[in-house]
A and B are shown apart, each in its own frame.
Chain A
Amino acid sequence: MIENKANEGRKIVIISIIVLVGIIFATRLFYIQVINDKYVLSANNNVLRYITQYPARGLVYDRTGELIVFNEAAYDLMVVPKLVKTIDTFQFCRLIGIDKDDFIRKMKKAKGYSYHKASIFEDQISKESYGYIEEKLYKYPGFWVQPRTLRKYPIPSAAHLLGYIGEVSPMEIEANPYYAMGDYIGKSGIEKAYESELGGKKGLKISMVDVFNREKGSYQQGAYDTLPIPGNDLYISLDIELQAYGEKLMQNKKGSIVAIEPSTGEILALISSPTYDPNLLIGRIRSKNYSELYNDSLKPLFNRALLAMYSPGSTFKTVEAPIALQEGVVTPQTTFSCGGVDATPIKCSHNHYSPLNLIEAIEQSCNPYYWNVFRKIIENRKYANTREAYVNWKRYVNSFNLGLTFNSDLNIERGGNVPNPEYYDKYFGKGQWRSMTIRSLSIGQGELLVTPLQLCNVAAIIANRGYYYTPHLVRSISRNKQFEEKKYEKKYTLVEPRNFDPVVEGMYRAYSGSHGTARRYQMDTIMMCGKTGTVQNPHGENHSLFIAFAPKDNPKIAIAVVVENGGYGNTYGTPIATLMIAKYLLREFERPPYEEDLFNASLISRY
């Protein structure tokens, strides 16, 4: 009994140790559960998967309501490098259909972007392989398949204009943090210009996974999930049938056709030749095809309608005449004599009677006449000197939107060139230049440069007798079935409407007059107005240019055609423009024999 009590005090030591352990545990628990919040994050990283729900991109319809761009399902194989466990690489590569070097390269790329965020491992797997891969994928944690949409073009036309979509670049992500690696974005054309409309808004689905990355249902019954908002549909002014027809006419030729509805500024067709099938730049084939197109010596990716700059040549006479009339330096009845091929300082390339009045000089495209008109403008005594007169002339020319960009919805364009007086000051010396020095401007040569779009807009201005609407492509945007019309304001030139009438008459006579430059292609059913241009250039044969509109009164279409190295304006320009107008206004018409010749004509040997 005594011995029993001997060490009784030791129970205090033992109970103290027990309590101490309890306190240590409580402290430790308090630290990791209440103070330190890194474990909550780690737990979320373990179990939560943030899956982007991609919205369907907006569709595109043409002016006749034809669906021209739609979506098709595709599947991307995604990877989060951090979650990838040691796997049988050989088996995996066989499943995906890649080799080991590909695997290492793709893995490196994904890791280079982020260890924790998803990126595309293999893009756009076909529907067939998708089913097969999906079944086996559970063996490879860190990988999953993300459904996507691809663009499809039922009519393989208008590639430049529609543009294409592609994976966002790191630069684009930096510019707009809405985008994440693996998203798609419009890269050119209206896909780029209307990205904010077409792109829609991404949704987010938070789901829970177990340690084997198997999905275990949605997080908090989807309380934090958001649905993707589909992109808005675009109704564009393009006439896809006209576009395709124009592309066919331009095949095997370099150049461009632009057609505009003058009363609205809506672009009906915008052709850059050579073109390509827009279906080449979608899916996994894109990068291969892109580099092939990029390296093509004919530069099919280059949008000539908006970016190529040409001298307008004789088509520029239609701008010069109304300016001269407005300035009062000539009247429609004013005549100048023409010395034909021996004329100085500018010879005439057309064989015609002399003298001609202003209207006849447009009908027959007399160069010396317009040299005289230009001289009258520049040597007008109203102005103190040549420079001042030139500045005034340039102001007029600029009001036709030449030398300026439109800032339209076409995403890219160039403004052409109307030289500043400073340019001549520098080139010839201040006060050292006269109308004689810059005479090539009178026939639309020299430093004067325009794009096919600007040229077409000139035709639209004449068709409207003095005003235009900014050429544009999108007529309306459909937001939740609500159409929003795009409004554009009317823009006036500095020339009064009445001063366009003689020009219209001259252009009408180019088709209908007995000496008209376009008379060979006159059509009985349509009152067409046109003006040829034969543009000398340092790249060999002349460029063939033509601008036109029809019908003469209340015009429905204005057009500009450029065929590089095509020779005379009426060799290619006139017949192509004529057929385009007929196609648009009549749809069905008796095909003239030269249509087939144009389809078959190839100028490739000249490039």
Chain B
Amino acid sequence: MNAKPNIFQNLDWRMISLYLLLVFFGWISIYSAVYDENHQSIFDMSQSYGKQMVWIATSLFLALVIILTDFKFFSTFSFPIYFFLLIILIAVLIFGKEISGSKSWFQIGSVSLQPAEFAKFATNLAVAKYLSTLNVNFHQFKSVGKILLILLLPSGLILLQNDTGSAIVYVAFIFVFYREGMPGAILIIGLVSVVLFLMTLLLNQIVVVIILFVICVLLVVFMKRNLQNLVILFGMFLIMSVFVFSVDYAFDNALEAHHRTRINVLLGKETDLKGAGYNVNQSLIAIGSGGLSGKGFLNGTQTKYNFVPEQSTDFIFCTVGEEWGFIGSIVVVALFVALIIRIVIVAERQRSKFNRIYGYGVASIIFFHFTLNIAMTLGLFPVIGIPLPFFSYGGSSLWSFTILLFIFIKLDSYRLNML
């Protein structure tokens, strides 16, 4: 296999096709979600669907620029880009504009940009750059510390903007680290923590500890009973018990009231259909009423008539569910799964460690957004502001995901030219 002379022939058109499909589907969903009889044209610039068209056009232009950029630029300037974004994140805290409680916007003319969105690909570049340098591994305290620092800086700054959704995204890198040699136990501990967290909130903490104790006793019965195993088991039991009690304490004291309510509503401990539960309930109604084949394009009522909040941004999937039904929803889910898996496969074929890590970062970030966003609209996860990649209305989000993906496509197109 040799590199072809024309750069466009080296591009992975499968990824690009999936990208284009998602962007197009997203655009017509936005059109349908906020469809207004008085502004019937999808190109009407006074409406969000008209504006989204401009965002799409500029995104494609950005993609072209990235493809035409020298591939070495991204690995070379990883850290400068990262630090530049950090400065922007600090600047937005000082000069930014507050929109619905989050001070995370720059107003440039009539356009609002959200630096937190762009911090994603910048951080991904920095992580890839740092992890691909020699002598960095997950058994060195110093390395782990630096990696965490790379993540915590943007994440913390975004948290200061009061944008929980964008801050939580950096957890996605756990998949990258896992692929790059992080002990598998950490991934398991992460998953166990989430399960324990939810169990503690759902059940009484004492009950959870009793369940843990029973599991430990069973393990003692069936495991080889040597001193080492017993000590490990006892230690784990102790740690988990402390975790359970501290979750309860944190839930009552550390979380803000509206987060607590949202979690409680999700867990079915509170039914407040007019307050925090309203969004989830309306979202379920919209999707659920779509049935098998949906109500048809532009025939949705729940999103169009504003019963679903944020219907063109965070809850855009409701329009898909309502108008295209189960079939359309499955198609969208499948497109996302296909794209993410494609990215993973393409990442695996990279010979450069930087490229691979960057690719895994892209897959992880998109996967994390996709999972949290859809889970939220399906009532499986608390409502946090997190957009659906390529779908949700918004220039910053579309630009940043385009840049994120196309840098990888660019890197991939040079995989055969390397070395």
Contacts and interface: CB of A to CB of B under 8 A. Distances in A.
A34 B291 contact: yes
A4 B360 CA distance: 13
A210 interface: yes
A24 B375 CA distance: 9
Contact of B305 (A21, A28, A216): A216
Interface stretch (B157-165, B172-180, B213-221): B172-180
B344 A19 contact: no
A7 B336 CA distance: 25
A39 interface: yes
B175 A22 contact: no
Nearest to A4: B353
A33 B337 contact: no
B326 A43 contact: no
Contact of A15 (B301, B341, B374): B341
Interface in B274-292: 281-282, 284-292
Interface in B320-336: 321-322, 325-326, 329-330, 333-334, 336
B197 interface: no
What's the interface size class on B, roughly? 35 or more
B41 interface: no
Contacts of B286: 43
Contacts of A44: 289
A113 B143 CA distance: 69
Contacts of B330: 26, 29
A10 B179 contact: yes
B380 interface: yes
Interface string A265-304: 0000000000000000000000000000000000000000
Contact of B367 (A4, A18, A25): A18
Contacts of A40: 288-289, 291
B179 A11 contact: yes
Contacts of B129: none
A527 interface: no
A28 B288 CA distance: 10
B340 A18 contact: yes
B302 A28 contact: no
Contact of B374 (A25, A30, A33, A47): A25
A46 B307 contact: yes
Nearest to A217: B37
B348 interface: yes
Contacts of A4: 351, 353, 356
A32 interface: yes
A15 B179 CA distance: 11
B289 A19 contact: no
B179 A30 contact: no
B273 to A, nearest CB: 10
A46 B375 CA distance: 23
Given A33-B288, A33-B321, A46 B306 contact: no
Interface in A1-52: 3-4, 6-8, 10-11, 13-15, 17-19, 21-22, 24-26, 28-30, 32-34, 36, 38-40, 42-44, 46-47
B181 interface: yes
A8 B180 CA distance: 9
Given A33-B288, A39-B284, A25 B180 contact: no
Given A22-B333, A22-B334, A26-B330, A32 B178 contact: no
B301 A46 contact: yes
B112 interface: no
Interface in B254-278: none
Nearest to B350: A4
Contacts of A14: 175, 178-179, 344, 360, 363
A483 interface: no
Contact of B287 (A6, A21, A29): A29
Interface string B193-207: 000000000000000
A211 B306 contact: yes
Nearest to B191: A17
Interface in A496-528: none
B305 A47 contact: yes
A298 to B, nearest CB: 55
Nearest to A19: B337
Contacts of B184: 10, 13
Nearest to B334: A22
B371 interface: yes
B388 interface: no
A32 B286 CA distance: 10
A208 interface: yes
Nearest to A43: B289
The residue in A19, A22, A38, A209 that gathers the most chain B C-beta atoms within 10 A of its C-beta is A22
Interface string B346-386: 00100101001000100100010011001100101000000
Contact of A29 (B336, B360, B370, B378): B378
Given A14-B175, A40-B288, A210-B304, 14 more contacts: A10-B179, A14-B360, A18-B344, A22-B334, A25-B378, A29-B333, A29-B378, A33-B291, A33-B325, A34-B326, A43-B286, A43-B302, A210-B307, A211-B307
14 contacts: A6-B181, A8-B348, A11-B344, A13-B178, A14-B179, A25-B375, A29-B321, A33-B291, A42-B288, A43-B289, A43-B322, A209-B305, A210-B306, A210-B307
Q: Top 7 A-B pairs ranked by shortest CB distance?
A: A39-B288, A43-B289, A210-B305, A22-B337, A211-B306, A32-B288, A47-B301
